Amino acid sequence: MADGFLSDSQLRSWLSIQWENWPSFPLVVGVALTVATYYVKCVAKKPLLITGSSRCADFLQRRCPVLVQEYYPTVWCFTSRAHTLICGIIRDLADGKPPSYQQDILHTPDGGEIHLDWLEHHGDSHHGNHHQDNKTRPTVLIMPGLTGNSTSAYVARLARGAHKQGYRGVVFNNRGTNGVELKSARSYCASNTDDLHLVVSHIKTLYPDAPLMAVGVSLGGIILFNYVAKFGKDCGLVAAMVVSVSWNVFEGTRSLEETVNKLVFNRYLAKGLTSNLRRNRVVFDQHASIDVDHALEASTIGEFDERFTAKAFGYESLQHYYTDASPHRKVPNVQTPILCLNAADDIFSPLDSIPFEEVEKNPNIALVMTSHGGHIGFGDWLFPSRESFMDKLYQQYVEAVFKYGQELEKEEIEERVDEMKQVQE
C-alpha cells in the first residue's frame, strides 16, 4: 500500500474476504447491476415527440437539441414520487433568493388585484441581446402551479432563463398567493381564464410592439391551455408552453387519492390551499354558497375543490367544474403553437389520460413525453440542482419562438399550400 491506496492484489484480497464473510454482498452487487441495467434500458431514453405537423416536428428537433438527445433523469432518485419530491426540495435549497423583481399591481373590474412580478421590466440590453429597443424586447409570461408563486424555485428559474437570453420575464401570481391578501371575493381556478385575459391585455398595452409568449406549469399550464383553446388566434400570444399539466382532471385527482400519493402530495397541497383561504376568509364569510369552516377542514384537493373552488366560481357540482377544467376536451380548439411537456410517470397526469390521438390531429400542438421525470421534476442525471431537462427545453423553445418563429410560419404556409395542391389533384 502506497500513499494510502491499496494495491491490486490487496484490493482483490479485500473483496474476496467481503464476499465470503458478508452473505449479502453478492446480493447488493446483483441488485445494483439490475437497477443499472433497468436504468440504461428503460429510463434513459430520447423524448417522444408527438405532433400533427411534420414540419413542426422538424423545426423543434432542429431548434431544440434536447429533443434529439437521450434524457438521463437523476440516477439516484428516478422513480416518480422520489424524483418529484427530491428535485423540488433540492432546488428550493440550492437556488437561494429569488430574482429582484419589480412589482406591478393590476386592478380588476371586481375590485380585486393581480400582482405581476417583472424581471427586466425596463432593462437595457445585455448578454448580446439582439433586441436593442426595450419597446420590442420579447416578453415571456410565466404562470406558476397550484400553490406556487414568483418565489418558487421552478418559477424563478423560468424567469432567470428568459432574462439570461435577453428577454423580459413577468410572473403572473394568482390572486391570494405569495402572501398577498385578496381584495375581493374571487380567487383562481383551473377553468377560469378571465384574469389571464386581463394580464395579457395589460402586457400588450404596455408593450404593443413586443412579441409575447407564455409558459404555464401544472395548474398554470391548465389555465394557459384553456385560455389558448378559448381565444384561438385572438389570444394575443405568438406561442405557448405548458409543463406537467393534468390533461384529465378527473383522472389526475383519482391518482392523487391513492394512499401513498395522498400522504406525500395531496394533503400537503390541500394544506397550502386551506392556508390561503384561512388568510383571506374575511372576503368569503358572506358568500351565500360557501361554508368557509367546512372548506377549511378539507384534507385533499378534491375536497377543497368540492367545498370551495367549484362553489366560488358558480359551478353546480365538482363534476361540472372538472369537466370544464380538463384540457383534453379542448385539444381540437387550439390554433396557436403550443409545446406540451409531460413525463410518462407523472402521478398528477396518468399516462392513459393523455390525449395522444387528438394531439396527432392538431398541427398547432407538439407533445414532448419523457419516460421519467415525475411532476415538475426532470432533474439532471446526477445533480438535481443543475439545469433540468425542463429548463433546457424551455430556454431552447423560447429562443426558437422569438428568433426563428417566422421560419416555422413560412414552413406551415408551405405545408398548407402543398395540402391544397394535393386536394386539387
Q: Which residues are catalytic?
A: 218, 346, 375
**Rounded CA gap, 66 and 370, in Å?**
11
Q: For residues 306 and 301, what is the distance between their CA atoms, to the nearest angstrom?
A: 9
Block residue for cell numbers 398595452: 205
Instruction: Quote the CA–CA distance of 346 and 368 in Å, as a whole number.
Output: 13
53, 79 contact by CB (below 8 A):
no
Biggest CA pair distance of the chain: 82
CA 64 – CA 76 distance, rounded (Å)? 27
* Element spanning 217, H or E: strand 212-217
For 105, phi then psi, to 5°, come to -105, 120
Rounded to whole angstroms, the Cα distance separating 420 from 425 reads 9
CA–CA gap between residue 367 and residue 328 (Å, rounded): 12
Residue owning grid cell 372576503: 283
Give the C-alpha separation, 70 to 77, whole Å: 17
C-alpha 39/C-alpha 368 separation (Å) is 20
Question: 219 phi and psi, to 5 degrees?
Answer: -60, -40
C-alpha distances (whole Å) from 142 to each of 12, 213, 284 are 56, 9, 28
